[in-house]
Every structure is written in C-alpha cells, then in structure tokens.
Structure 1
Amino acid sequence: MMLRTFAFLALAMLAGPAFAQQKVNITADLFSIDEATSTAVFTGNVVVVHPTVTVWAPKVVATYGAGGTTDIKTFEATGDVKLETSEQTATGQRAVFTPGDQLLRLTGNVIVVNEGGTVNSDELVVNLATNVSTFTSGQNGRVTGIFTSQ
C-alpha cells in the first residue's frame, strides 16, 4: 500500500489527461520547447506542483505526441530527484514515467520514506496497471528496509 499510493498520485499528475483536468504549476530557471523533437525541457531548480504530488529536480524533460502537451509520452526528471505526497517521500537520481505502459521507474540511490518505514534500493519500478512495486539493487547490493509498527 505504501508505494501504490505514492505511484498512483505521481502518475495521476503525469498522465496526459491529468494535465487538462488538474492545475499543474511548474517553475524553473529556464524553459524551452523543441517542436522538432516534441520535447519540453525545464532546467534549473525545477519544481512541479500538482494538488497531490510535488516533484523537485534540476531538470525535467517531457516528450509529447501529436496531441501536444496533453499527450505526454515520457516524463523524465534527472539529478537529485524528490517526489513528495502528503503521506510519503521518494528520492533518487532519475525518475521516468511512461504512460503507455504505466511504469514509473526511479533509479539511483532510491529511498522511500513514510510513517510505516523506509526502503532503500538502487531501483524502484512501479507498475500502475498491476499495482506491483518492485525494489531491486545492483551488483552485490541488497534492498534494505526498516519498518515501524503503529
């Protein structure tokens, strides 16, 4: 439940129709759109604020399809990435969401914290279609968790 709630809120913000239905505020030091490559790039102290999740990153790139910015194909945040909901915080080096397969992938020193505990790994993949969250670690690494009871 811990990660499913987080993933649902994060993905709701990033899915194409959510942009049209919800107010999303994005601030950055620089914003550019490249219509030739269908990319919107935000750089420098990027903050994406949605009613249910806030994302902080040095750089965010959204790739969109024929429907324009409401037709998001990928959403990628890189650098020291932080995603926060009212119930939990997740950090890593790169977060990629692809609406087509409903996968959110957070990689690079992943830490997820909520009132139930903390999980550390190299990668977290959340499949919103199946509600399965998978933590993995790389070579010789281990997934670790500290859980607290209520």
Structure 2
Amino acid sequence: MRNRLALPILAALLAPVAALAQSPVEITSDQFVMNEAEHEAVFTGNVVVVHPNVTVWAPRVVATYGEGGTSDIETFLASGGNVRLKTKDQDATGDQALYTPGDQLLRLTGNVRVVNASGTVDATELVVNLATNVSTFTSSGSGRVTGVFTSQ
C-alpha cells in the first residue's frame, strides 16, 4: 500500500536514521564485540542507540562497515523483536529494522506499527526509500495493511 498520508507519519521519524552513519551516536548495551575481521560491531542486550533526532531500542544491533572503518557504515541491523525507533513526534515498532545507507532504504519488518498524532498504520513490512521519500507498507498471508487516521 502506498499512502501519501503515511509520508508525514514517517518522514520525521526515518530521515534521521539516514544520518546514523554520519553523525555522532551514543550506544549502550550489556555487551559489545568488535570483530575487525568481519567488519562488524555487535551490541547485545538492552541496546539503546541515541542520535540527536532518533532513539533506537533493540535486543541486538549489528553495524557492518567497509574499508573506511566504523565511519563507513554499510548496514545497520536492529533485531531480536521489540525493535523501536522514536523521535519527538513519532514512534515505530517492529521485529527488525535494517538500514542500508548505500541505497538509503530502511526496512522495518514483523508486526510493524507506526504511530503519531495523525494516526496509526499496522503492516507486516514497511520499506522507506529515503532518497525518493516513498514509503510502502505491505502485509503477507491473509493479513492486510490497516491505517487509522485522525483529523487535526
């Protein structure tokens, strides 16, 4: 489902995620493993990622990086269920969130819910193309994308 109403819900929430690889972030977790051979930074246990515009909570976060080191993020994966992305105005939850800076795609999958003052959208998957500002909600199986929008 492509829905123009969904863009205002998502634009402020997801645009700051694009900057995760470029802006300073604070990450706390129960454990941190840096695997230089695999070019991975793995955070596990009550992970909280704080960026000036967005906070991400997840049981596990894995950042893979290229030859440029940790400032060259290739993927950012928050997983383990109970993944949450929150800004001042918006809140999105799902089972997993994958952001790839190279193509500027954010995929939030599994029990997706996006909430703000304008409404709520539920789906199985949300794909946001930050380069084109197109958000696509889909559902699998017999489920359907649902949205409840309120007038301001």
Q: How many residues align?
A: 144
Matches within 5 A, 1:80-119: 80-119=82-121
Give the whole-Å Cα distance in 1 for the aligned partners of 2:148 and 2:67. 45
Q: Which runs of 5+ in 1 are unaligned?
A: none
Matches within 5 A, 1:64-143: 64-79=65-80, 80-143=82-145
TM-score with structure 2 setting the length: 0.92
Q: Report the residue type matching 2:78 in the other structure.
A: A
Q: Report the residue type matching 2:69 in the other structure.
A: G
Q: Which runs of 5+ in 2 are unaligned?
A: 1-7
Give the whole-Å Cα distance in 2 for the aligned partners of 1:112 and 1:25. 24
Q: Post-superposition shift, 1:123?
A: 0.2
Give the whole-Å Cα distance in 1 for the aligned partners of 2:15 and 2:36. 29
Match of 1:8 among 2, 15, 30: 15
Q: Post-superposition shift, 1:23?
A: 2.9
**Structure 1 residue runs of 4 or more that deviate by more than 4 Å after TM superposition:** none
Q: Report the residue type matching 1:32 in the other structure.
A: V
Give me the identity figure in percent: 65
Give the whole-Å Cα distance in 2 for the aligned partners of 1:12 and 1:6. 12
8 Å CA contact retained: 2:12, 2:87: no
Q: Report the residue type matching 1:42 in the other structure.
A: F
TM-score with structure 1 setting the length: 0.94
Aligned residues: CA RMSD: 0.8
Deviations 1:22-44 (A, max 9, x none): 33110000000111110000000
